[in-house]
Structures are given as structure tokens and as C-alpha cells.
Amino acid sequence: MAVDRALDVLYEGEAALRQVDRELHALRPAAPAVAEPPSYQPALIALPNVLQRASAEIHQLLSSLRDSRTALEQSTVERLQLTQAKLSEVSSTTEMATAGILDGLDRAQQLVDRLDSEEGKDAATAADIRNTLRDELFTITGALQFQDITSQQLKHSSTLLLEMEGKLADVLQIIDPSMYGTRSADIAAALAGPQAFDSRATIANPEGRQAVADEIFKR
Amino acid sequence: MRYLVVDDSATMRRIVVNSLQRIGVTDIVEASDGVEALAKLDGSIGFIITDWNMPNMGGVELAKAVRGRDDAKGIPILMVTARSVRDDILTALEAGVNNYIVKPFTPQVLKEKIDALIAAPAVG
């Protein structure tokens, strides 16, 4: 009896499941006659590849920017320090030369005053004073050599600034080639010419530096 | 004897010319670079005073060019320059420069070098 009851329950269950299946089937929408794929489907399919390429390019760009930043930091900091040192030297050279010229003018003025006071007295003394005065005036002329030295120091500073501008243009070219593509080439062309200055030109210790030259040419 | 003063700085040319006049030299020709100097180098030039750093042609190239010319290779060349590193001075010597003055110079030093070169046997 128990077995028969169990079989009845099983059959009733199966029938109920079949009924549920039929009802569900009836609820499904009718399939279109020809299934048209949406127009954006190929783009969606390609999207992962596009994103992968974009990611690679962004990664490369960031890497270039990082490298450029490092190079820029190294070169510009060094050059800025050198430029600052050169400009500082120009300032001190100008000050030293100006002081020397003013001292010479003071001495020349005193000699002219002495000439006035000696007028009509001792001709030999007056002649000595005139000679000393000529020497003083000539020394003043020689002191103006500082202009040549500072001019070379300023040209060097200008070149350093141009080099830094070139480095910056290189970095900006990565971000916007259309705007900065030719800038670094222009700067490179400007720097390519021969340097008509000595980057180490200085007014300091002329006697010591002349001694080195004399020692070499004495051989 | 005619002196040729070569420097791209007009101020320096004036100072050198002034210094030469001070020691009695009056026959002076000026040039602003090596190219102009070579163009002015005729049989009348007996002494060259040149800077190193100049546009178009510098003093070292000028010295080599002068030493390469049969009509000029014996002319004494005095270099007056701000360059004073030992290697630079040796480069000038090898190029054919006969003596060397470091800027800034005194007229006394200029006179000593000119006197010594004029008294020395002909070069070249």
C-alpha cells in the first residue's frame, strides 16, 4: 500500500512539473523571423582591444613623461645653478671693474688738481705729473677689458637658458607634437653654431693664469 | 711693420690698438674674425694679434691657416684670449701660435710679448 501511494505522489508530481513547463513555454515572446544583430555589436567586440591599445599608449606616454621629467630635473637644476653662478660672477666682475675705474678716475682727478697747483712753478714736476696722469688714464682703458669677459659670461648663460628651453620643448612635444614639434628643432639649430665665447672666461687671477701660459710657451 | 689685430669685440680691438699706440705702434689693421683677417693678410702684415673665440673662424683656425700659407707662415702670432686652461694653451701652441696673453692683460705684458717675438728668429 505504501508503495502504491508513493507511486501516485510521483506521477502527480511529474504531471505538475509538465504543467509548469507548458505554462512557462507559453509565456516566452515569439522569436523574430530573422535575428538582426545590433549595429554597434562589432565595435563592442573590438572594445577590449581598443582599450588594451589605449592603455599601452597611455602607459608609454607616462613612461616617456617620467623619463623626461627625470632628465629635465637633472639637466635643468644643474644648468640653473651654473647660470646663477655665471650671472653672479658677471655681477661681481662688473662691480670690481667699476671700483677699479672709479679709483683710477679719483687718482687722475687728484693729479689734475696737482697740475693746477704746480702751474707756473716747476716744469719738471709738472711733466712727471702729466706722465703719471697718462698712465692712470691708460690703466682705466685697460680695466674696460671686463666688458669682453662679462660679455662671454652672459653669452654662456644665454646658451644654458636656451638648452633648458630645448629640454622643456622636448617634454611638451610628447604632450602636443603639433604645437611643439618644431620648437625643439629650432632651438637645436640655434645651439648648433660655433660658440664665439669661452664658457670659463673669468677676470679672476690673471697673473696666475698668465704664468701657466708663460710656462708652456717657455719650453 | 703693419700689425693685424683680430677680435670680434670692438671694445677689445680698441683696447689692444690703444695699447699698441701706447708702445709706439701706429700702423695697425683690424679684423673682426679669422675670415676677415685672412682676407686682409697681404705682404704688408708683419705681426698678428688675435683673439681665440670668434664667429666664422676662431684664432686657432686662423693660426693654422696662416701657417699653411707660404706668403704668411713666418708672421709672428700672439694670441690674446680669456681661455687659460692648460689644454687650450697647448692647442694654441700646436696650431702655430708663438705666444699667449691671458685676458685681462696689462699693456706691460703686451709690450714684453711683442718685444720678445720681434727679437726672436723668424718663425715658420
What does the pLDDT look like over A28-70, one tens digit per residue? 666 665 666 566 676 778 888 888 888 888 888 788 777 777 7
pLDDT of residue A34: 60
pLDDT of residue B17: 94
Nearest CA in chain A to B109: A210
pLDDT for residue A195 is more than 90: no
| A201 in B contact zone (CB under 8 Å) | yes
ipTM > 0.85? yes
**In this structure, is the dihedral angle defined by the CA atoms of residues B108, B114, B117 and B120, taken in order, positive or negative?**
negative
Unique residue bearing C-alpha cell 698668465: A210
Q: How far apart are CA A122 and CA A131, in angstroms?
A: 15
Smallest Cα distance from A122 to chain B, Å:
26
**Residue B33: exposure state from Cβ atoms within 10 A (0-12, 13-18, ≥19):** buried
pLDDT band for position A12 (50/70/90)?
Answer: confident
> Looking at chain B from residue 1 to 40, which residues have their Cβ under 8 Å from any Cβ of chain A?
8-9, 11-12, 15, 18-19, 22
Pairing mode of beta strands B2-6, B77-81: unpaired
Q: Which residue has the higher pLDDT, A186 or A146?
A: A146
pLDDT of residue B124: 45
Cell numbers given for B8? 670680434
- Digits of tens for pLDDT over chain B (124 positions)? 899 999 999 999 999 998 999 888 999 999 999 999 999 999 999 999 999 999 999 999 999 999 999 999 999 999 999 999 999 999 999 999 999 999 999 888 999 999 999 887 655 4
Q: Which residue has the higher pLDDT, A127 or A170?
A: A127
Check whether domain B2-109 has CATH 3.90.190.10, yes or no: no
pLDDT for residue A3 is more than 60: no
Angle at A127 between CA A121 and CA A129, to 5 degrees: 95
Angle at B80 between CA B75 and CA B81, to 5 degrees: 135
Domain ranges within chain B, ordered by starting residue: 2-109
In 3D space, the residue among B81, B121, B85 whose CA is nearest the CA of residue B102 turns out to be B81
Amino acid making up residue B106: T
Query: pLDDT tens digit string along A83-123?
Result: 888 888 888 888 888 888 888 899 999 998 988 887 777 88
Of A143, A194, A213, the CB nearest to B84: A213
Nearest CA in chain B to A212: B86
B18 and A194 within 8 Å at the Cβ level: the answer is no
Exposure b/e, A179-213, CB count within 10 A at least 16 = b: ebeebbeebeeeeeeeebbbbebbbeebeebbeeb
Measured from the Cβ of residue B105, the count of other Cβ atoms closer than 10 Å reads 19
